[in-house]
Structure 1
Amino acid sequence: FGKVTNLTDYGAFVEIEQGIEGLVHVSEMDWTNKNVHPSKVVQVGDEVEVMILEIDEDRRRISLGMKQCLANPWNEFADNFHKGDKLKGAIKSITDFGVFVGLPGGIDGLVHLSDLSWNEAGEEAVRKFKKGDEVEAVVLSIDVE
């Protein structure tokens, strides 16, 4: 455990022992929310559980992780769902290559353009969807990496 001492755009500094601080990079704060400002996750003064990921003695830097102290929702998803399962979720975002659907555990699943419709081109099919729409999808594969 450590205490958050400072926030930056790229992470949070955490004092793990008196006078010893490390950085939790924003990518190591949460398994699913990778592009959020650290202030949306922690505040200065918060007591947080951290794991030491790397110690760079030459540069006198300690890299810390918070998400490593939590269960990985991807592993949990892979344990509970399998190829062929049908799931419902709301569309979180629409991109040039497909739609992202919110799934159990706070993870997002991609429905690629080529998998949106049996009888329409993906570019045409995607126009029928909008953010927030509830959809049903079939799990084609699960990549926990």
Structure 2
Amino acid sequence: SSNSFFLLGYALKISEEENHEWQKLNYDIYTLRQIRREVRSRWKRILEDLGFQREADSLLAVTKLSTISDSKNTRKAREILLRLAEETSIFPTSWELSERYLFVMDRLIALDAAEEFFKIASRTYPKKAGVPCLADGRKELHYFPFPSP
């Protein structure tokens, strides 16, 4: 009988710990979604400033069926994204550059708007002094799954 009280108490303790873990996980997911929304909002704002008011949402839309328009643009898209990460605050400090924005940057290169996008991003989201953008100091975008041309 005292053994069943012990087991019940143990089960409640485990349940509280699991509940705490679920709450933490839900908070982390919520936070990540908020960060993604903010980054997307920043990109959309710049696209609209570039004159793509009607096209902004479609330029930002990336699905599993999305393709790179020209493999020669892949390296340039990576370089511009790295410059955005290092020289602006368009991405949060600990943000790992998303494949989504490689596709978006490829589209901007095809539209001959990538450099202007970078200029507007630099003015709108200037780098805050003393804040590293890539948390671990990486200098290359090796986490994009595309081969370099």
TM-score (norm 1): 0.22
Q: Which has the higher strand share?
A: 1
When Rg is computed on C-alpha atoms for both structures, the one with the higher figure is: 2
Q: Which has the higher helix share?
A: 2
TM-score (norm 2): 0.21
Say which structure, 1 or 2, has more relative contact order (CA 8 Å, 6+ apart): 2
